[in-house]
Structure 1
């Protein structure tokens, strides 16, 4: 894998940081990162993650390893060629319409959706994603919508969390300004 870009974020809602790099080889894109933060309930977390996509930005697999409070986190997520998802080798039904994997504890995975959608100014699209719920140890659906409002800006809506904001994005596709949640360190 060859590094294409990297970024360091600081959390705004709780203490924490995340570092990520985007890599590529002849057949895949990959995000490789680490996140350390204090969860809203006070638990401290340290998580390493990796997400692999094909060259068209369709999720193939992901891993999340580390700890959250006194609990070990060791998750393996896969999506086969027919779109079937598995979490730790257990089938997860009703997600075959999702082509994206969203790791809710990091802004890194928004890059995958933005790259895949490749929206022009004024265009918008729904991007339902298979979303990791760390607290529940489960994989479920996260309905999201992106609308490109400028060269480096996207209106983003995630109704599940009652969240709506304009995201600032780098030329590489990383979100650098996630209002109220994350900001890139300079």
Structure 2
């Protein structure tokens, strides 16, 4: 899975520095992810390579997400592979918080600040960093959710509440799903039961 990694090597990634690289392991089903958080003068880049099983089928996905200095999502590129079939998704966000898929607006995403990838824990970092909640504070957000296994696009109401310096309660769909997320100093997931746990990471 090299297409996204090669694409960014001569673009924004070449002028950025890697703050942390890590591997997450999926807890309930087979799967893992190699991930990098990178910083540049214009903002942040999240890049991951994911392999997982979904609905009894093997999948592989490469993605890169670009955010501005305020952690607002500005662009997302995803390549999904399954059984020899490749599917690509490119989203961009303009200054009016309108989301575009090619030349077509995604109207249900208008006003959304964060993308949420259903196949990765990395995107929890975006609202965690953007909201900068104090301990005891909570905030409702609506994410632009990219679902598996078809990369369909829907909105997802969410709520983040900061419980301690490093732990957040995450709720979605009006509290029908609730989890506590442990994070590191970059706001990256350490543990997100029942979904993901960190296996290893670079120091820093």
> Fold-level match, TM-score > 0.5?
yes
Selected match of 2:135 from 121, 124, 139: 121
1:163 to partner: Cα distance? 1.5
**Distance in 2 (alpha carbons) for counterparts of 1:69 and 1:104:** 20
Match for residue 78 of structure 1? 92
The question of 1:13 aligning with 2:32 is answered no
Query: Is 1:12–1:183's contact at 8 Å kept on the other side of the alignment?
Result: yes
Match for residue 36 of structure 1? 51
Match for residue 71 of structure 2? 57
CA RMSD of aligned residues (A): 1.5
Structure 1 residue ranges (4+ consecutive) displaced by more than 6 angstroms after TM superposition:
none
Query: Is 1:166–1:179's contact at 8 Å kept on the other side of the alignment?
Result: yes
Provide structure 2 residue ranges, at least 5 long, that are not aligned to the other structure: 1-15
**Distance in 1 (alpha carbons) for counterparts of 2:87 and 2:132:** 33
Match for residue 3 of structure 2? none
The question of 1:108 aligning with 2:108 is answered no
Query: Is 2:96–2:111's contact at 8 Å kept on the other side of the alignment?
Result: no
1:136 to partner: Cα distance? 4.0
Show CA shifts across 1:155-175 (max 9, x none): 110127932011111111111
The question of 1:181 aligning with 2:176 is answered no
Match for residue 97 of structure 1? 111
TM-score of the aligned structures, taking structure 1 as reference length = 0.94
The question of 1:148 aligning with 2:178 is answered no
TM-score of the aligned structures, taking structure 2 as reference length = 0.86
